[in-house]
Structure 1
């Protein structure tokens, strides 16, 4: 596999002027996103600004540290642990902003960790830091999104359809079973984005793993194979995370 040549770069950044243009474009796109949010009454204008600011700072830090991290398996393992922690914190604060956010670590880890281990044990993902970190990061990101979406939908369903749950309890259902009966279908909708991405891959989008492999010098067939492996892995990751989240909500652990 060849190393990416400068002329192959996805962004045309030529010295200081290139970074200035990059900064201006980032500010413009973020400002327009916030403006559209504000005019559309979506109430996420401030969130757009904060998210873009955090992304800028975090990517600058990661860009500076990643070369050091990838020189050591210990540092790589620590970096993966940081990714799991941040994903759990992000989902937890979305689900229980005033409560025990760390319970969100369970569905995030239950979804991402077993699938990551399976992919690594298969031998199809090279046991090199530069290959392991991006793949595990994609899986953790999928688990985080599935946990957040399924948790929010489950909690909303239990609040909005409280009467149905009371009816189930009145005919003898246990509390856990009544909650699952009411909220399971709503929670399952969290799987739709992953399903749509898998169904439309190559026709609508070329996901990051595919593009990254191509830019790194892999053949189109090799890139497609890696992307397929990641996508089907994500299907399992998200299914595990959604089922785990529903179970935690049904048992009253997340509420």
Structure 2
């Protein structure tokens, strides 16, 4: 692989200006969010580059699980801003992400897909948590826009779950035809066996679909359940 120089990084920052300018021109209201997210992502990745060796060398199991829990909390804090009530959205997001990621991560360990080591657990858990976070965000955003009155909750729930799952489903339809997934690309570029990389990618894609669906279902269920209880209290 060619080394990415500073000039290339500068060019990609210039390209990021395109969606920002479009947002302001079209009055989408997400220009500031794109700027903040880009700066945060840049800084966070730089910090990860400095500390990744230390993180991957962690040996105590409770420290590794503590890191995963911290990642889950951060993801829950992020998606809680998409909900209509910050505190309840945080706890709903935390429980939903924790449950869906725990099921899938435990399955990977039990079936010996990855060993119980920080070097493998943290990247895989991060991938699952990130996917769950996006799914939860879509559900919260959809519910916030559609819950006006406590009517037809089934349709509202189904719509939020469907919207959250569309990217994963469409991704599976075109994988191998339109795109070569990231993990498979990385393994091939590193000189790995293409068929072995395919096996890992299948596990990853199918697991991410499960994570997405579980998080969407749990988030919508807990959120609507909470709304129903709140409505009964008011009555």
- What are the within-5 Å matches in structure 2 for residues 59-74 of structure 1? 59-74=45-60
Structure 1 counterpart of 2:93: 104
Rg (Cα) greater in structure? 1
Structure 1 counterpart of 2:233: none
Q: For 2:81, what is the secondary structure of its paired residue?
A: helix
CA separation in 2, counterparts of 1:238 and 1:183?
17
- RMSD in angstroms over aligned alpha carbons? 2.1
| Post-superposition CA distance 1:52-106 (Å, at most 9, x none) | 1001110011110111110113354333222211111111121145433233101
CA change 1:213–1:130 in 2 (3 A) is farther
CA separation in 2, counterparts of 1:98 and 1:124?
37
Deviation of the 1:196 alpha carbon: 0.9
**94, 108, 128: which one aligns with 2:82:** 94
Structure 1 counterpart of 2:119: 130
Deviation of the 1:47 alpha carbon: 1.2
Query: Is the 2:80–2:86 contact (alpha carbons within 8 Å) kept by the matching residues of 1?
Result: no
Q: For 1:68, what is the secondary structure of its paired residue?
A: helix
Q: Is it true that 1:45 corresponds to 2:31 in the alignment?
A: yes
| Post-superposition CA distance 1:175-228 (Å, at most 9, x none) | xxx52x231221122111111111211112222221222233321111111111
CA separation in 1, counterparts of 2:185 and 2:227?
40
Q: For 1:86, what is the secondary structure of its paired residue?
A: helix
Structure 2 gaps, min length 5 = 231-235
CA separation in 2, counterparts of 1:22 and 1:76?
35
Which shifted more, 138-147 or 38-47?
38-47
Q: Is it true that 1:186 corresponds to 2:175 in the alignment?
A: no
Query: Is the 1:157–1:186 contact (alpha carbons within 8 Å) kept by the matching residues of 2?
Result: no
CA separation in 2, counterparts of 1:126 and 1:200?
30
CA change 1:38–1:140 in 2 (3 A) is same
Greater relative contact order (Cα < 8 A, sep 6+): 1
CA separation in 2, counterparts of 1:67 and 1:153?
39
- Report how many aligned residue pairs link the two structures: 225
TM-score, normalised via structure 2 length: 0.87
Query: Is the 1:146–1:238 contact (alpha carbons within 8 Å) kept by the matching residues of 2?
Result: yes
Structure 1 counterpart of 2:17: 31
